[in-house]
């Protein structure tokens, strides 16, 4: 409840899709420490004030103006109340000497010069005076800037190989896969687990198949598929009661966002109850009846199956 209220309060400043939990919640599930920490980490990252280094990269930007006058290179819409320009590429760079610069940041005229981020605002060197934009929303690959009459929305297209050094001394790298797999499911037949998902990425070179055999355990890589894969079949041990799976899109720049996590229950695993008689206690199993008694006293019996499914 606290997290929902906090997200509602922060809604104008945050991108909701970045708070998507990797777990599929089902009735009766326990909100685990891992799930809580995941959402807490999401909130912490999104509340972080952007810095100069956070803007280093190549961005595809588009500006929208309200009630414009005397601006060229824009297309009108909504009865001429608004104008927007075609997407353009702006490059924010680390100069390597403690200063930062931007090229081709267009607000009508193209701005090229020093920039500085402070207090949630972007200052860019103009021809006569600095241009000041409020950083309205920020995430790892999307940012928007606004002033009194316009807003510029930028999507990251390239990252620097080393943000902490002069950008021109490094390389510009492609992004990790932007789209994550959806509709992830797992079905068990014997000891074969069939995984299926929707391949939403267009820039992945394959998918990592990740598995663990306990809720508190760590995921381990069991295989990597080729690009555009939508399924995988895993063979599991008949002695383990359950497995958790996720798939992760990858390319040369790293791992993208993982799918939801799904669990399969291995009904063939043995879940027999084991009773050990202690001092002065007799335990006798006869079919579906378990008799527990103190030695030398009358017994009590419990009828019912002696095997069951683990939660």
Return the DSSP state at 175.
Answer: P
Spatial separation of the C-alpha atoms in residues 84 and 195, rounded to whole Å: 44
Q: What's the chain's Rg over C-alpha atoms?
A: 29
User: Can you read off the two tokens belonging to residue 131?
Assistant: 């241009």
Instruction: Please give the domain boundaries of the chain with CATH numbers for all domains.
Output: 53-173 (2.40.128), 176-270 (2.60.40.10), 272-311 (no CATH)
Phi, psi (degrees; rounded to nearest 5) at 16:
-60, -35
Do 272 and 288 contact (CB within 8 A), yes or no? no
- Helix, coil or strand: residue 28: coil
**In terms of DSSP H, where are the helices of the chain?**
2-10, 33-47
Query: What does the pLDDT read at residue 42?
Result: 72
Beta-sheet pairing, 254-255 with 142-146: unpaired
Spatial separation of the C-alpha atoms in residues 157 and 89, rounded to whole Å: 9
Reduced to 3 DSSP states, what percent helix, strand and coil does the chain have, rounded to the nearest 5?
10, 45, 45
Spatial separation of the C-alpha atoms in residues 44 and 258, rounded to whole Å: 20
Phi, psi (degrees; rounded to nearest 5) at 227:
-65, 150
Phi, psi (degrees; rounded to nearest 5) at 22:
-80, -10
Do 114 and 100 contact (CB within 8 A), yes or no? yes
Task: Using alpha carbons only, give the angle 25, 13, 16 rounded to the nearest 5 degrees.
Answer: 25
Q: For the chain, how many helices (H) and strands (E)?
A: 2, 22
Do 193 and 267 contact (CB within 8 A), yes or no? no
Residue-level pLDDT, tens digit, the chain, 311 residues: 434 433 333 444 444 455 556 655 656 555 566 667 777 777 777 777 789 999 999 999 988 887 555 555 556 555 556 777 788 999 999 999 999 999 988 766 678 889 999 988 999 987 777 888 999 877 778 899 988 778 899 999 999 988 899 988 888 999 999 888 989 999 999 889 999 999 999 999 999 999 998 878 889 999 999 999 999 999 988 766 789 999 999 999 999 988 888 888 876 555 445 555 555 666 666 665 666 666 655 555 444 444 433 33
Run of H or E residues at 281: strand 281-286
């Amino acid at each position: 409840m606290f997290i929902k209220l906090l997200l509602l309060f922060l809604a104008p400043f945050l991108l909701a899709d970045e708070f998507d939990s990797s777990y599929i919640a089902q009735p009766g599930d326990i909100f685990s420490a891992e799930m809580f920490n995941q959402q807490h980490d999401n909130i912490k990252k999104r509340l972080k004030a952007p810095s100069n280094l956070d803007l280093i990269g190549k961005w595809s930007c588009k500006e929208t103006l309200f009630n414009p006058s005397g601006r060229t290179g824009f297309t009108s819409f909504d009865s001429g109340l608004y104008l927007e320009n075609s997407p353009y590429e702006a490059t924010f760079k680390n100069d390597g000497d403690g200063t930062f610069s931007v090229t081709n940041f267009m607000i009508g005229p193209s701005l090229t010069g020093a920039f500085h981020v402070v207090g949630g605002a972007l200052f860019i060197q103009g021809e006569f005076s600095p241009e000041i934009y409020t950083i309205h929303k920020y995430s790892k690959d999307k940012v928007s800037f606004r002033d009194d009459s316009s807003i510029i929305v930028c999507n990251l297209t390239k990252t620097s190989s080393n943000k902490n050094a002069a950008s021109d001394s490094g390389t510009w790298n492609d992004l990790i896969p932007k789209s994550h797999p959806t509709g992830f499911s797992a079905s068990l037949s014997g000891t074969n687990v069939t995984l299926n998902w929707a391949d939403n990425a267009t820039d992945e070179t394959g998918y990592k198949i990740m598995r663990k055999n306990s809720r508190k355990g760590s995921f381990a890589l069991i295989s990597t598929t080729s690009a555009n894969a939508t399924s995988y079949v895993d063979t599991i041990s008949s002695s383990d009661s359950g497995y958790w799976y996720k798939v992760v899109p990858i390319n040369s720049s790293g791992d993208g966002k993982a799918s939801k996590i799904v669990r399969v229950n291995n009904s063939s695993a043995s879940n027999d109850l084991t009773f050990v008689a202690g001092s002065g206690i007799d335990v006798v199993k006869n079919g579906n009846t378990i008799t527990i008694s103190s030695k030398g006293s009358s017994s009590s019996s419990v009828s019912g199956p002696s095997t069951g499914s683990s939660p």
